[in-house]
Amino acid sequence: MKNLRNIGIIAHIDAGKTTTTERILYFTGLTHKMGETHDGESVMDFLPYEKERGITVASAATMCVWKNYEINIIDTPGHVDFTAEVERSLRILDGVVVIFCAKGGVEPQSETVWRQADKYKVPRIAYINKMDAIGADFYRVVEQIKNRLGANPLVLTLPVVEDDEFIGIIDLVKMKYYSFGGTFGDDITESEIPEKYTEETANWRLILVENLAETNEDLLDLYFNGEDLPLDMLIEAIRVNTINNTYIPIMCGSSYRNIGVQPLLDAIVDYLPSPLDVETVDAIDTKNHEKVEIIPDSKDFMALVFKIISDRHVGKLAFARIYSGEIAAGSYIYNNTRDKRERVGRLVKIHANHRQELSKVSAGDIVAFIGLKDVSTGDTLSSVDNGYLLESIDFPEPVIQIAIEPKTQNDQSKIGEALAKISTEDPTFKVAYNKETGQTLISGMGELHLEIVTERLANEFNVDFNIGQPEVAYKETITTNAEQVTRYVKQTGGKGQFAHVVLRLEPNESGFEFISKIVGGAIPREYIPAVEAGVRNALEEGVIKGYPVVNITATLLDGSFHEVDSSELAFKSAGTIAAKECLRIAKPTLLEPIMLLEITSPEEFTGNIINNINNRRGRLESMDTEGTTQIIRAYVPLAELFGYSTVLRSATQGRAGFSMQFSHYEKYVGEI
């Protein structure tokens, strides 16, 4: 495990994640040709809809070897619609390389993935790519990483530019200049630092050493005594600070021009942690709800499923990170989340869309299980039924919805199965059925997300269908308290049905909560969960437009029962009726999804853009100027943003760009 690295490549869209991964695969000898994303030839973007668009949609896993270190790499999407792919990858990785475009700098999605890495405390290296692009500015991006992301940058390499051309890098740790020749940049020449860069290099080296000396007493003594600093001591100090998230090593390069990728690989093995270096994960013992530390070299096998793929040849592929112990193909495991025992059919290591069979796997590995039938994202697998659950993965709620109708009876049966498979794979994709209209509704994270789902239905599952206009996934809530006394009595000959409940609903800012204030056995304990189930049932469809109801506290105040006629069904029905009545009288209101919109535009179009935001019920959040570019951030209701890209292009002669991501739900103001 000491020589194992589990890393992810994360970034804003078009920063060069897949191009960098392709270079890594080439330089480590795994591939013999570099595939380019713009040609649809990359190894990692192997799905048809990825090749067509030149973007990554699903995170792809691979494994390579560099200087006797095994590196598991997950290449993630950069588009905001597929943020769940980044979330689930970061949950199980030990370290990441965050790629920034030297021209674009810290872009909106860069901030999102950075926050996701902060959430899981993942050590990271920053790689400033596209140093060959016109307008590339290494030092500006370093400042942005410091100011916009709140990080402590530790610059390890500097760019060398001659006649506006990026030709090599200066290594501040080894104090050498490296140029990359040959057809594919694999002919590396090490030489002395060019004279015109000696002063600048000395300044940056001093900053590097001073930062490291602050955290290492041995280095501090050597530094104060003016002695040479041993290379291995410097590397170890950088490694410790990276793993502790004290500093973020900064590298530069141009993956497309094959400059700087090998030093990045060296940095991955030198500075990012092995599974033994990161904090041990905790599990919850379901018997006593106490935390249990999972030690990597323990004998008991423990793993977390972080992704499911449906394969037409082998069924479900369950990707899992193994945290302790080992397991062999053909053995039995427990799914602690579902309390089921299952047999592992086969174990495979994935390289994009190729598979390598394994006889057994052990702690630290990222592998796919074949043969598990009842398994979902976030499930905990173990070798013994120990009742331990690893922390699952939280995913954002979908914000956009469209209606989908199969064209024929044959398509009707196929579409249900296809949608079930896609929703098993993708936790941010939801399927619902509207009883009133008879429509199937699919929800996702954005227009591109749903576009790809519909493309998969047509091409992968051969379904013919019509789709409706995108709809916003509204929610409902209440604005005041309401109390209701409900008697549910049915006498139809023989045993009747009787339940009596007194229920109060009140607004709650943080989700749903059910409280029972029953004392003295007014309602038997076994019937109270039935009342809660009835309330939850009522909240599935609100009274305004039938949207789900959120942010409510339901309190069961009192009630009574009948020795013979009371049952769970009666109390569930009473709970539903009482909750529905409370919803009617508690002044219900609609909630709508609000998006955080970030627009980058030349200054001359700022006035038009702000007017347009105001017309869309938007609220300006901030404005920043970088050179001649304005960065405008605003909160705008999703309902007002359909087709916004076309409007923005025509208003700015195609010179402005924007990104949006879900922020929060807010009360809808307007006519219902």
pLDDT in tens, 77-112: 766 667 777 888 888 889 999 999 999 888 877 887
Q: Can you say how many angstroms the Cα of residue 232 is from the centroid of all Cα atoms in its chain? A: 35
Q: Which residues of the chain fall below pLDDT 70?
A: 31-60, 78-81, 352-353, 434-438, 470, 492-494, 627-628, 654, 671-672
Which token pair is 212?
């490291």
- C-alpha to C-alpha distances, 501 to 191, 341, 574, nearest whole angstrom: 83, 40, 7
> How much is the pLDDT for 453?
87
> How much is the pLDDT for 573?
94
> How much is the pLDDT for 34?
57
Q: 366-377 burial string, b = 16+ CB within 10 Å, else e?
A: bbbbbbbeebbb
Burial of residue 525 (CB within 10 Å: 0-12, 13-18, 19+) is exposed
> How much is the pLDDT for 583?
95
Tell me if residue 321 falls in helix, strand or coil: strand
User: 404 forms bridges with which residues in the sheet?
Assistant: 440, 467
Which token pair is 73?
């790499």
Count of all residues that appear for the chain in the document: 672
pLDDT in tens, 521-531: 899 989 999 99
> How much is the pLDDT for 46?
45
> How much is the pLDDT for 499?
92
> How much is the pLDDT for 45?
46
Say which DSSP state 563 is in.
T
> How much is the pLDDT for 36?
55
